[in-house]
Homo-oligomer: A and B are copies of this chain.
Amino acid sequence: MVKMHENFTGLKEDKRDSIINAALTEFATKGYELASTNEMVKAAGISKGALFHYFASKKELFLFLCDYVFKVVSQEFYEQIGHCDGDLLIRYRRAAMLKGAVYQRYPPMFEFIKRISVEKSPKIEDQLKERLSKMMAYGYQCLLGNLDTSLFRQDVPADKIRDLTIWALENYGNRSMELIGDQRVEEIDLEALNTDFAQYLDVLRRCFYKQ
């Protein structure tokens, strides 16, 4: 009898992904306590027995997903942005592209992250908090560390410009996600999305940066 996780990590990629995505979706939409393993196996197209063959318990599955998500986001996202450029807007454009790539493979991942960052179930609280704070600190550092604020216009505080930029673009990102949320992955018009995004970036550059 091998360790349980090895049963799972040895699975074929598409099956593994479908289980991961089903579980992420369920946890993301209902939260830890109310998420149903029955719904997960139904959505993933496997049996109940199989799921508990891979993971000893719901809790173990959840924590595995956390670790997995954090690993993916760190490798595919944070590490690709970090310190690549001091220009906040360039960094953010890069972030948007990378986010799209992750989204294509694991659509529910960001919803999952959003959910677990407000999760309050005592059964997993401690272990989750620990993982989250590590993750947040790393993300914050990669996205906002080492910023070249000398690019900003100098007649207003740089930190305010930074905050407003992040907030506006975060909201823009969420709206885009919602808009494309219904469509199938193939039929998303990435071209149009990018030019639209570029226009907003251009406005921000004009208004917030030195001319």
User: A residues touching B (Cβ–Cβ < 8 Å)?
Assistant: 30, 34, 153, 155-157, 160-161, 163-165, 167-172, 175, 199-200, 202-204, 206-208
Chain B residues in 8 Å Cβ range of A202: 156
The reply to whether A155 and B206 contact each other, CB–CB distance below 8 Å, is yes
Shortest beta-carbon distance, A200 to chain B, in Å? 6
Chain B residues in 8 Å Cβ range of A155: 206
Task: List 30 A-B pairs, Cβ < 8 Å.
Answer: A30-B34, A155-B206, A156-B202, A156-B203, A156-B206, A156-B207, A157-B199, A157-B203, A160-B199, A160-B200, A160-B203, A161-B203, A163-B172, A164-B168, A164-B200, A164-B203, A164-B204, A165-B168, A167-B167, A167-B168, A167-B170, A167-B171, A167-B172, A167-B175, A168-B168, A168-B171, A170-B171, A171-B171, A207-B207, A207-B208
Copies, count? 2
Looking at chain A's contact residues, the main secondary structure is: helix
A206 to B153, CA, bound (A): 11
Chain B residues in 8 Å Cβ range of A157: 199, 203
Shortest beta-carbon distance, A157 to chain B, in Å? 7
> Which chain B residue has the least Cβ–Cβ distance from A30?
B34
A203 to B171, CA, bound (A): 19
A67 to B208, CA, bound (A): 42
A175 to B166, CA, bound (A): 13
Apart from the given pairs A160-B199, A167-B171, A167-B172, 8 other A-B contacts in the complex at a CB distance below 8 Å = A153-B207, A156-B202, A156-B207, A157-B199, A157-B203, A161-B203, A167-B167, A170-B171
> Which chain B residue has the least Cβ–Cβ distance from A161?
B203
Most chain B beta carbons < 10 A, residue from A160, A175, A208:
A160
> Which chain B residue has the least Cβ–Cβ distance from A200?
B160
